[in-house]
């Protein structure tokens, strides 16, 4: 399924020129790009059926940019989904959904914002707390895949939410909808971070958004949901992966331990660097 999503990504982003700088990849595709080579013996990431893209509203834009993006979606045979922030089409027999996210004070959290409504574009984005953090802390990767509809092989540069914004987005999402896949994506990234969860905590503490007030609240929330193997975060992670009861118990413990390692290191280092942030 991931291959289908990458084909969607290079098709949708490949024709919008410099405006691609205003889009940041989030969601289930992110771990494969942040982690790179997996530790020996680690299971590969399961991938994603969605392509989640953050619209960086803080950056300068124009109605034409939104119209271009919407036109590209329609030209690639995407159709509006159940909500105006979703677009979908069938790829090799399976539905792939493109979802747009943003962060704004113009509508309530969890509501749909239409940045250029009334200017020729009906494109909507779901208002998600923490989305703008990814616009300030991202990494750029190259994605190569075959464009849809026999469009040939193509390579694009994609901005990908970096570790700390990704942790924030995932724990907020788990809090809001309690989906096992969110717990899985979060724990997979932390557990398989190069040199381990403590190194992930150190990397998180060096993020340019580490002093944001949302970081402290999100790390506190991560602790509340993943503090032990009996908490709902590790249970959701284990339920997503486990093939037996014994494996479920082990996965719960590993998930809690990894998450708390990141939190402890990140809190200690951020507390020294930005004492007013926590």
Within 8 A by CB and 6+ apart from 72, the residues are: 11, 12, 15, 16
pLDDT in tens, 108-152: 999 999 876 554 467 889 999 999 999 999 999 999 999 999 999
Distance CA 230, CA 261 (A): 17
Domain locations in the chain? 2-161, 163-277
Cα 245–chain centre separation? 30
The model carries a pTM of 0.91
Which residue from 227, 102, 230, 89 is spatially nearest to 149, judged by alpha carbons? 89
pLDDT in tens, 149-179: 999 999 999 999 999 999 999 999 999 999 9
Q: Give the residue carrying structure tokens 């991938």.
A: 47
Q: Residue 141 forms beta bridges with which residues? A: 158
pLDDT in tens, 28-69: 999 999 998 998 888 899 989 899 999 987 555 566 777 778
Which residue from 138, 155, 147, 226 is spatially nearest to 186, judged by alpha carbons? 226
Distance CA 65, CA 46 (A): 33
């Amino acid at each position: 399924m991931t291959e289908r999503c990458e084909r969607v990504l290079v098709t949708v982003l490949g024709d919008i020129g410099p405006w691609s700088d205003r889009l940041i990849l989030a969601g289930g595709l992110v771990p494969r790009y942040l982690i790179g080579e997996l530790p020996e013996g680690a299971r590969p990431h399961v991938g994603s059926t969605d392509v989640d893209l953050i619209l960086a509203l803080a950056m300068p834009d124009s109605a034409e940019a939104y119209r271009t993006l919407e036109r590209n979606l329609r030209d690639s045979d995407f159709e509006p989904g159940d909500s105006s922030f979703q677009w979908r089409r069938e790829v090799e027999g399976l539905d792939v959904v493109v979802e747009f996210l943003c962060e704004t004070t113009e509508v309530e959290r969890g509501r749909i914002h239409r940045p250029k409504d009334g200017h020729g574009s009906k494109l909507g984005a779901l208002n998600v707390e923490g989305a703008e953090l990814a616009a300030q802390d991202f990494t750029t990767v190259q994605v190569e895949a075959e464009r849809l509809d026999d469009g040939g092989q193509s390579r694009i540069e994609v901005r990908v939410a970096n570790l700390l914004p990704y942790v924030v987005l995932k724990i907020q999402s788990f809090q809001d909808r309690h989906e096992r896949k969110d717990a899985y994506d979060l724990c997979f990234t932390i557990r398989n971070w190069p040199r381990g969860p403590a190194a992930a905590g150190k990397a998180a503490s060096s993020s340019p958004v580490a002093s944001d007030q949302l970081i402290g609240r999100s790390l506190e929330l991560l602790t509340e949901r993943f503090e032990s193997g009996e908490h709902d975060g590790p249970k959701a992670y284990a339920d997503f992966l486990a093939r037996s009861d014994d494996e479920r118990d082990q996965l719960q413990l590993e998930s809690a331990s990894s998450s708390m390692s990141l939190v402890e290191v990140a809190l200690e280092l951020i507390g020294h660097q930005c004492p007013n942030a926590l």
